[in-house]
Amino acid sequence: MSIRLPRPSLRASLCVLAACLPMLIGTARADAGWPRTVSGEHGSVVLDHAPARIVSTSVTLTGALLAIDAPVVASGATTPNNRVADDQGYLRQWGAIAKARDVKRLYIGEANAEAVASQAPDLILISATGGDSAMALYDQLSAIAPTLVVNYDDKSWQQLETLLGQATGHEAQAGKLIEAFAERQAQLRKSLTLPPQPVSAFVYNPAARQANIWTAASPQGQMLEQLGFTLAEPSPALASSQSMGKRKDIIQAGGEHMADALTGKSFLMFAAEPADTQALLSNTLLAHLPAIDGQHVYALGADTFRLDYYSANHLLDRLQAQFGGKVQAAAASN
């Protein structure tokens, strides 16, 4: 004997569909944009889904991932307990955030493929250049998980965040950071009372009596110009040297040539704290320069050698404290 079941009414069917629709839409949104192809310095990488366990072999890239709330679970580290790194070997500007998010330190210095594999990553990041590059292990690492090679030397922190946002599915977070920073920078520019212009912006090495001077091609130089500063031009002979290989972001000068390179009426010292200015002020070869004679020498923080989202905000903090009025600071605590 067959039993005929009652057909669900149209109203009941619509109710079931209405109940399920939000879940179906949510699933569609989560899957939107995947798989995707991301271009890197060692070729393109195809990602089937948004990564959930990212391992960064580059301590520089780790901070950029944290800023956009990407799911970085582990990272390489640099030498701990110095002026730029905390007790974990993470950069001081974001080390507390890494600790709060329980980012595991895999190694200090040289990369270790076994340590990376132990984290079961679904995306691995390598820097193309620099002391934190793990390019020597690319073949081993790419056999573990999709491996994206990123060159941060030729990018502003905003460009880097945009690329990593694409790779992680956190484009919205990257866009929000960049927009908020641009707004804060524009507000600060209106309130600044600039020191005597133009300025020489540089990193000073007192042991070698050498300066690496930021050019307009550097992220530091670009940021200063966006804030209304004018970068001083070194002597033509030095400007044409740009002496660190093919790099266009710095001009290197030392010894008797340093006075010809530091032509600004004010000096902005990057990667420096206030106590570090004394070494420059006591350099007898520079004593005749207007910036030294007029005491227009300003330290902009130890973490400003390489700008990421966190250190760029700290740089705005320093400039605001030195030359600015009351501008609300953006929270660099993502």
Domain boundaries, the chain: 36-169, 192-323
Return the beta strands (E) in the chain as ranges.
36-40, 43-47, 54-56, 72-77, 104-108, 123-127, 147-150, 199-205, 210-214, 250-254, 266-270, 297-299
- Same fold for the domain at 36-169 and the one at 192-323? yes
Q: Render pLDDT for 22-42 as a digit per residue (tens, 0 to 9).
A: 444 444 344 568 999 999 999
Instruction: State residue 255's pLDDT score.
Output: 83
Instruction: Assess whether pLDDT exceeds 50 at residue 277.
Output: yes
Most confident of 2-11, 83-92, 231-240: 83-92
Instruction: Assess whether pLDDT exceeds 50 at residue 99.
Output: yes
- Tokens 């600039």 belong to which residue? 194
Hey, what amino acid is at 108?
A: I
Instruction: Assess whether pLDDT exceeds 80 at residue 12.
Output: no
Give the confidence band of 241 by pLDDT, cuts at 50, 70, 90.
low
Instruction: State residue 24's pLDDT score.
Output: 44
Average pLDDT over residues 107-132: 95
| Contact indicator for 135, 59 with CB cutoff of 8 Å | no
Instruction: State residue 197's pLDDT score.
Output: 98
Average pLDDT over residues 315-327: 84
Instruction: State residue 167's pLDDT score.
Output: 98
Instruction: State residue 318's pLDDT score.
Output: 96
Instruction: Assess whether pLDDT exceeds 90 at residue 325.
Output: no
The percent of residues in the chain predicted with pLDDT above 70, rounded, is 84
d(C-alpha 98, C-alpha 122), whole Å: 19
CA distances from 85 to 82, 90, 92 (A): 5, 5, 5
Instruction: Assess whether pLDDT exceeds 80 at residue 14.
Output: no
Instruction: State residue 235's pLDDT score.
Output: 78
Kindly report the number of other CB atoms within 10 A of residue 57's CB atom.
Answer: 28
- For the chain, give the mean pLDDT: 88
The architecture CATH gives domain 192-323: 3-Layer(aba) Sandwich (3.40)
Instruction: State residue 244's pLDDT score.
Output: 46
Instruction: Assess whether pLDDT exceeds 70 at residue 21.
Output: no
Q: What are phi and psi of 205, to 5 degrees?
A: -110, 100
Give the confidence band of 153 by pLDDT, cuts at 50, 70, 90.
confident
Average pLDDT over residues 60-77: 98
* 247 class by beta-carbon count within 10 Å (0-12 exposed, 13-18 middle, 19+ buried): middle
* 312 class by beta-carbon count within 10 Å (0-12 exposed, 13-18 middle, 19+ buried): buried
Q: Render pLDDT for 161-205 as a digit per residue (tens, 0 to 9).
A: 999 999 999 999 999 999 999 999 999 999 999 999 999 999 999
Which of 58-67, 237-246, 247-256 has the lowest average pLDDT? 237-246
Instruction: State residue 330's pLDDT score.
Output: 39
The CATH number of domain 36-169, selected from 3.10.290.10, 3.40.50.1980, 3.90.1150.10, 3.40.605.10: 3.40.50.1980
Instruction: Assess whether pLDDT exceeds 80 at residue 79.
Output: yes
With H, G, I as helix, E, B as strand and everything else as coil, classify residue 185.
helix
